[in-house]
Amino acid sequence: MKNLSIKQLTKVYSNGVKAVDNLSLEISPGMFGLLGPNGAGKSTLMRTIATLQNPDSGSIHFNGIDVLQDPMSLRKILGYLPQEFGVYPKVSAERLLAYFARLKGVEKKQERQALIQKALEVTNLYEVRKKHVSSYSGGMKQRFGIAQMLLSKPQLIIVDEPTAGLDPAERQRFLNILREIGTEHTVLFSTHIVDDVKELCHEMAIMNGGRILQQTTPEAAADKLKEQIWTKPIQREELEQIRSSYTLLSSHYKRDNTLYARIHSPEKPGPEFTASEPNLEDAYFLALQQANTAV
């Protein structure tokens, strides 16, 4: 089994920030979502797994490879799409992929062409293969990043905040592509967007402060809060009082412009509260709050 095993990983930067704090994770094949706010340490963890920086301590293993001792072996089977990547020259997607394929050691022209065609088709870029990548939209560039990764037939794929800044249509296209490749690869998907994980991942972890707060599934995280989520219509000026009196998870306006407070409580807090079906966002906000309270 191509499991990714991370044990007791720690990374402290020179300014004293502990970006990864004694972190352990076991990730099986399929789509795994790493959910956490900006600054949680997700990108540091991703770069460390991708062998772009060394941790201070801990171990990483994938499919029999000791990643920290033998980074080159992992790089041969790794696909990595960082949060931001380089500026592309004024070259067509087709020509640029051919160049990358040669860099990856695909010498035979026929094999190269077959790989490129499949990568373009999977990422829905075949129709625009003759256009310069520099002219692509943000979402198209992200999809091109996936196409580039697929040339080396990666066994482990790491994508860091891939949908940040994408419009809804591009985001959906990108998620559909990840969903498709996630059936054949181990994909580690980092995001601060709850809906990305809910729609895409069969397993997930919530991360903050360099630590894993919870490893679960999107369904189990929500189910754990059954009969513990309550809502109440409030006035805007009541919000701070609600925040100080209850575990406030979120507040939102409905169509009639009424503001609703959404709180967590094992028992009904009062007659004016109505039971609400829990969701992954509730579980995420509660995990963050409980971690902050424990500090």
Kindly report the CATH number assigned to the domain that includes residue 187: 3.40.50.300
Q: What is the total count of domains within the chain?
A: 2
Alpha-carbon torsion (43, 48, 50, 53), positive or negative = positive
Gyration radius (Cα) of the chain, Å: 22
Q: Output the pLDDT for position 102.
A: 86
Please check whether residues 128 and 22 belong to one and the same domain: yes
Please check whether residues 125 and 37 belong to one and the same domain: yes
Q: Once rounded to an integer, what is the mean pLDDT over residues 127-142?
A: 90
Please check whether residues 78 and 199 belong to one and the same domain: yes
Query: What is the domain range of residue 46?
Result: 4-218
Please check whether residues 131 and 236 belong to one and the same domain: no
Please check whether residues 253 and 156 belong to one and the same domain: no
Please check whether residues 228 and 174 belong to one and the same domain: no
Please check whether residues 72 and 135 belong to one and the same domain: yes
User: CB–CB of 103/140 below 8 Å?
Assistant: no
Segments of 120-209 assigned E as strands: 156-160, 186-191, 203-208
Please say which residue of 187, 218, 249 terminates a domain.
218
The band of 294, judged by pLDDT with boundaries at 50, 70 and 90, is low
Please check whether residues 16 and 97 belong to one and the same domain: yes
pLDDT in tens, 202-228: 999 999 999 999 999 999 999 999 999
Please check whether residues 237 and 158 belong to one and the same domain: no
Please say which residue of 168, 186, 218 terminates a domain.
218
**Residue at token pair 């509660």:** 286
Please check whether residues 156 and 41 belong to one and the same domain: yes
Please check whether residues 115 and 169 belong to one and the same domain: yes
Distance CA 74, CA 72 (A): 5
Distance CA 16, CA 292 (A): 20
User: Token pair of 133, please?
Assistant: 């990548």
Please say which residue of 199, 218, 237 terminates a domain.
218
Q: Is the confidence at residue 136, as pLDDT, over 70?
A: yes
Please check whether residues 201 and 241 belong to one and the same domain: no
Mean pLDDT computed over every residue of the chain:
91
Residue 249 buriedness (CB in 10 A; 0-12 / 13-18 / 19+): buried
Residue (of 223, 251, 75, 80) closest to 150 by Cα position: 80
pLDDT in tens, 50-92: 999 999 999 999 999 999 999 999 988 898 888 766 667 788 9
Q: Output the pLDDT for position 203.
A: 95
Model pTM? 0.87
